[in-house]
Amino acid sequence: MRLILNSPLDMHLHLRDGDMLQHVAKFSAKDFTGALIMPNLVPPITDIPSLLAYKERILDVMGCEQFTPYMSLFFKSDYKADFLERSRDYITAIKLYPSGVTTNSDGGVEQFDVKKLAPIFEAMSELNIPLCVHGETNGFVMDREKEFGAVYECLAVAFPKLTIIMEHITTRSSAELLKRYENLYATITLHHLLITLDDVAGGLLNPHLFCKPIAKRYEDRDALLELALNANKKVMFGSDSAPHPVSKKECCGCAAGIFSAPIALSALAELFEKHDKLTNLQAFVSDNARDIYKLTPIEKTVILEKKEWIVPATFGDVVPMFAKQTLKWQALSQK
């Protein structure tokens, strides 16, 4: 049995830089036609020369693979309208991080004052630049995303022409917000469709499933599954694949991030087949993103075969999701 996917897209991807970029980029390039690249490097990508240099480094690693890195800027509260206008042709989105909520977010927004930031959001609305948001407060870890919902509602009402992407949603409350506001959309990760907090810390602590936003409750996972499996037009796949070396995961002060790039399409095919929803996978991993972001990706056909394979224990110095486990689908080739 074979499954054909046309131009699959990963709309939330961490490729890192330097040696890690050299190592992990090939996995996304093999299975996807493009990805929205996160800008939270050290230092973050906040200007066009840095963005173009990073894009060139990514393309150099990709070699002859058919892959488009869709670039994003790290949101800064001092961006001006003329800078955004000059940037429009080089970027697909701007990513907003509240300060300190996740990896390399210390340069993010300290205080979320919508009135103070209004000129930026108004300019982005007029220029049709989507705003991607890591939506968490600094409150109790299980409540952070739900608490941020009020900010999403404020933004959606105050800037109705602004396309707002709630990144890697994890809660039923976020799923409900999608129904209320026309200009709210969301990415959903593979891991948040599969795991709950039980898988991370219900028994022995599994550092390789520790991520931010942290996995939530069963009812939250079920709400995400309902959206993804039915290919709701307001959601799209974003892996949030975030590699860290073993030394940063299996240690005190474990880094947040799950490395799913090598197995994402295989595991998604297995999940959608399990729920008799394989016909909806194309929309979730490509068609919805094209509509939301107004993209015309490179034509690329990825073929998956129903063929068992064992996920390697490591890829270099990075442990993948499902390490040493058997998956039922395998991405074999592309055209």
Cα of first residue to Cα of last residue in the chain, in angstroms, is: 18
User: For residues 302 and 198, what is the distance between their CA atoms, to the nearest angstrom?
Assistant: 33
Give every strand in the sheet of 131-133, ordered side by side: 9-13, 34-37, 68-74, 93-96, 131-133, 164-166, 184-188, 235-237
Q: What is the pLDDT of residue 335?
A: 56
- Beta bridge partners, 72, equal 93
Q: How many CB atoms lie within 10 A of CB 15?
A: 26
Q: What is the pLDDT of residue 243?
A: 98
All structural domains of the chain: 2-334 (3.20.20.140)
User: For residues 247 and 47, what is the distance between their CA atoms, to the nearest angstrom?
Assistant: 31
How confident is the model over 242-274, as pLDDT tens digits? Answer: 999 999 999 999 999 999 999 999 999 999 999
User: CA 62 from chain center: how many Å?
Assistant: 19
Q: How many CB atoms lie within 10 A of CB 141?
A: 13
**326's tokens:** 């058997």
Residue positions annotated with a catalytic role: 240
Instruction: Name residue 66's amino acid.
Output: Q
Q: What is the pLDDT of residue 333?
A: 60
Question: Is the Cβ–Cβ distance between 98 and 63 less than 8 Å?
Answer: no
User: For residues 269 and 220, what is the distance between their CA atoms, to the nearest angstrom?
Assistant: 21
- Length in residues, the chain: 335
Beta pairing class for 2-6 and 301-310 = antiparallel
How confident is the model over 65-102, as pLDDT tens digits? Answer: 899 999 999 999 999 999 999 999 999 999 999 888 88
User: For residues 36 and 21, what is the distance between their CA atoms, to the nearest angstrom?
Assistant: 15
Q: pLDDT below 50 — which residues of the chain? A: none
Q: What is the pLDDT of residue 334?
A: 64
